[in-house]
Structure 1
Amino acid sequence: MFTGPRRQRTRRILLAAATAGALALTGCGGDGGATKDPKESGGTGAQQPPADALKLPDLKGQKLQVIAVWTGAEAENFQKVLKEFEKRTGATVSYVPTQDAMLTYLGSKISGGTPPDVALLQQPGALKQAVANKWLKPVDAGTQAQLDKNYSKGWKDIAAVDGTQYGVYYKAANKSLIWYNTKAFEDAGAAEPKTWKDFLATAETISQSGVTPVSVGGSDGWTLTDWFENIYLSQAGPEKYDQLAQHKIKWTDPSVKDALTTMAELFGKENYLVGGSKGAVGTAFPKSVENTFAGDAPKGAMVFEGDFVAVNIEQAKAKLGTDAKVFPFPAVGAKSPVVTGGDVAVALKDTPATKALMTFLASTDSAKISAGAGGFISPNKSVDMPAYPNDTLRDIAKALIGAGDDFRFDMSDQAPQSFGGTPGKGEWKILQDFVRNPKDIAGTQAKLETEAAAAYKN
């Protein structure tokens, strides 16, 4: 994953504006934010960007701290962005990786009198809670100008609270993708499906060829919430999705029954799942990818999850574009869903240096650096598609931008953590039980509603 498995869950759900299966959408043009070798500015220590790039102030002697959950290559790539900011401004920026419990960490730093300047949060609820705690500063005019230039209304709205803009969504993930072993498809004579009906027919074709169709990483319960949410959004539509996400309709609603019934069309077929239902709930997400792409004889032909699967594919020593290809999550209803996660930059200090960094993160200049490093998708619509290092990422980015504003954040991430985000409890556990017994749709609905009512307290 471009983030760790738990962090991957933080995402939003979009209903693609294009027809089902339209991964390769037309990309938007850039805004001339290419970064060239900067020149020294008259003895200040700051470096001036090229004439067509974002103008930043001289911040020589200023120090900033940025925190996020990213580690490893992901952190190294983000630090390239911070280094560019240092070169252009003369400021010094330190990066501190932290754990997933970001609000707990921030609370301890704030109570200790040492808040960071900028943090990148993983959940829309976390941003709202931080605003409620009065920890965050609204964006300044310079940052707002970059947001208005480079972001759609939808991306701005999800980083705002009660009409006030607080955040910049810097990183996103398209999580409505099904990756497949090209040799398994070729041997079976299978084609990329566009609808759920086609998907099930493809699974049957592959099964008859002697390969198990789908590898599921269901021991990580968030993958099962992703299956449900893709199906539900495509089938029930965004209005119903909003109602269920806010628990304004119950999990006993007929729309939930329909989605679980659709989900059971796959999970009720033991021969469609690597290891059967027991294997589906006993396999960790990374192993589910390995099952599909490692070695000459894959255990499964397909695996579902986001663009971060590319990292696991490489670890399995398979080659993107040849050994491994990808298609959009099949349309259950009229349109194919697009699921994405996001990391939103927020400011905890009201200083010139903090404002400048937030403005830089909202610009195309910074997004192009991250896009070129790989393992990154930007919600910045002004990033030229050639900035991405390969066709796979370009197509995924095109689909993300092309989805427009008809989006929804992941339902389980909007829910109280006790229901939507706790291993072995709530939705994760109930959907695991459902995979073990997909005939018990009414019982699953009743359990989901009981847990949701207790968590939402309504």
Structure 2
Amino acid sequence: MMRRRTATLSCAALTLALGATACGGPVAAGGGQKELGGQTLTVAGVWSGAEQKNFQKVLDAFTEKTGAKTQFVSTGDNVSTVVGSKIEGGNAPDVVMVPQVGVLQQFAKNNWLKPLSDTTRKSVDANYATVWKSYGTVDGSLYGLYFKAAHKSTVWYSPAAFEQAGVKPPKTYEEMLTTGQAVSDSGLPAFAVAGEDGWTLTDWFENIYLSQAGPTMYDRLARHEVKWTDPTVVKALTTLGKLLSDKKLIAGGQKGALGTDFPGSVEKVFGPDPEAGMVYEGDFVAGIAKDQFGKKIGEEAAFFPFPAVTGGQAPVVSGGDAAVVLKDGKNQKAAMAFLEYLSTPEAAAVWAKAGGFLSPNKKLDLASYGDDTLRETAKSLINAGDSVRFDMSDQAPAAFGGTKGTGEWKLLQDFLRDPSNPAGTAAQLETAAAKAYRN
């Protein structure tokens, strides 16, 4: 999605990443002299646009290294439905890039997946924090390799808006609200909130909840070992509701937020006619700010870490896409080789150089990233180690945490519309969660 200065790779590094001919002429796709020549690997994932284009560079690198041709199939947001239909129709992809832990677990319990190879497991043990291995493991078997990560504890702001308001990036959640008031007083609403996309509201809740309740309670709620009616949930909703109910802080108020999708929220801060000073979302905000609106990352668009709520620690919530191998895929050898490749820092470097990407692979040289802001974000994610917590809604069954117009997405949109009854919203969330986890 983004990036300023382009990182360079040495000929030796390119040779490792792309094969022996990397520094000479290009290798024809599917070259028969390579190990997997003649095979075609089909990879399915949610990506489109710039993300799909950049992932294609990784696929092309794999082709040059192995000779396997590749084909990418975009699933849209309903990964489980699309993949299930393809399996039933005898047209299963070989590899799926799964964006939700809950969906990965569903695939494993449906007996759709093959455990990853010893080579991949050894790479994960050597190159990843333990938490990433645990999120890819179901019933003791490693099925998912987390290739692409997101840092979802970043608040993006306009330095010009902060300068006009005479404020600096806040250190606590309470300071963030005070800063927002100052930005609003200077003539620009504080936050653009993408309420039309329910997943952004789950991210708001998760950061607040992780900071207030702590990682142990976060893990228990993610597994539905505590009910959503727990006082910690009501407390987090109350904290979030205080922000959402303040029309001075939210661009367009609740109605305006509910009519704003995620790209639109970024445009409200970094577009040609700014309507807000800040937008909370993950590191991928920078890609839109740079690619669509020409902002210089670090100068015209900057971020501060999502600040700690009183009494808690600053949260580090992440998301990510895990590569899995389907049992019904027709090219098992190529699929396993592809995941072995994805587990290396060389593969991560290809997309890191292209931009719009963070890797949980701690062996990836930070110099591979194209600008200082990305390097800072990546370093924060890696340094968090096992204190990183995966997006809670992505760990839930899709019916609760990952479906438009239902479950957590819809109920938090309803809460944005009227944040006056946190306990009532918690009760509704529990009803929906209980049904989804039971099924």
Shared fold (TM-score, shorter chain, > 0.5) = yes
Which of 383, 399, 423 matches 1:418?
Answer: 399
Which of 259, 281, 285 matches 1:309?
Answer: 285
Matches within 5 A, 1:147-226: 147-226=124-203
Task: Indicate the SS of the match to 1:375.
Answer: coil
- The yes-or-no answer on 1:143 pairing with 2:120 is yes
- The yes-or-no answer on 1:407 pairing with 2:388 is yes
1:117 aligns to what?
A: 94
For 1:64 and 1:431, locate their aligned partners in 2 and report how far apart those are by CA, in whole Å: 39
Conservation of the 8 A alpha-carbon contact between 2:45 and 2:98: yes
For 1:421 and 1:352, locate their aligned partners in 2 and report how far apart those are by CA, in whole Å: 31
Matches within 5 A, 1:349-360: 349=329, 351-360=332-341
For 1:100 and 1:211, locate their aligned partners in 2 and report how far apart those are by CA, in whole Å: 33
- Listed one character per residue, the Cα deviations across residues 386-417 of structure 1 (whole Å, up to 9, x for unaligned) are 10011111111111111111233222223333
- Listed one character per residue, the Cα deviations across residues 199-222 of structure 1 (whole Å, up to 9, x for unaligned) are 112112222222211111112111
2:6 aligns to what?
A: none
- Matched to 1:440, the amino acid is N
For 1:361 and 1:123, locate their aligned partners in 2 and report how far apart those are by CA, in whole Å: 18
Q: Which deviates more from structure 2 when the two are superposed, residues 355-364 or residues 203-212?
A: 203-212
1:346 aligns to what?
A: 324
Q: Which runs of 4+ in 1 moved over 4 A?
A: none
Matches within 5 A, 1:238-317: 238-295=215-272, 298-314=274-290, 315-317=292-294
Structure 1: runs of 5 or more not aligned: 3-29, 48-55
- Listed one character per residue, the Cα deviations across residues 288-346 of structure 1 (whole Å, up to 9, x for unaligned) are 11111223x52211110011111321313433222111111111143111222111111
- Matched to 1:424, the amino acid is G
Structure 1 residues 111 and 419 mapped into 2: Cα distance closer, same or farther (>3 Å)?
closer
For 1:316 and 1:419, locate their aligned partners in 2 and report how far apart those are by CA, in whole Å: 34
- Matched to 1:409, the amino acid is F
Structure 1 residues 129 and 420 mapped into 2: Cα distance closer, same or farther (>3 Å)?
closer
- Matched to 2:405, the amino acid is G
- Matched to 1:336, the amino acid is A
For 1:128 and 1:416, locate their aligned partners in 2 and report how far apart those are by CA, in whole Å: 9
- CA shift at 1:364, angstroms? 0.9
Q: What percent identity do the matched residue pairs reach?
A: 52
- Listed one character per residue, the Cα deviations across residues 399-450 of structure 1 (whole Å, up to 9, x for unaligned) are 1111111233222223333332333333223222322332322222232223
Q: RMSD across aligned C-alpha pairs, in angstroms?
A: 2.5
For 1:408 and 1:66, locate their aligned partners in 2 and report how far apart those are by CA, in whole Å: 27
Conservation of the 8 A alpha-carbon contact between 1:46 and 1:58: no
- Matched to 1:130, the amino acid is F
1:374 aligns to what?
A: 355
Task: Indicate the SS of the match to 1:401.
Answer: helix
- Between the two structures, name the one with larger relative contact order (CA 8 Å, sep ≥ 6): 1
Conservation of the 8 A alpha-carbon contact between 1:46 and 1:89: no
- CA shift at 1:232, angstroms? 0.4
For 1:128 and 1:419, locate their aligned partners in 2 and report how far apart those are by CA, in whole Å: 14
Q: TM-score, normalised by structure 2?
A: 0.88
Task: Indicate the SS of the match to 2:163.
Answer: helix
2:415 aligns to what?
A: 434
Q: Which deviates more from structure 2 when the two are superposed, residues 384-393 or residues 108-117?
A: 108-117
2:368 aligns to what?
A: 387
Task: Indicate the SS of the match to 1:300.
Answer: coil
Structure 2: runs of 5 or more not aligned: 3-8
Structure 1 residues 260 and 140 mapped into 2: Cα distance closer, same or farther (>3 Å)?
same
Structure 1 residues 429 and 131 mapped into 2: Cα distance closer, same or farther (>3 Å)?
closer
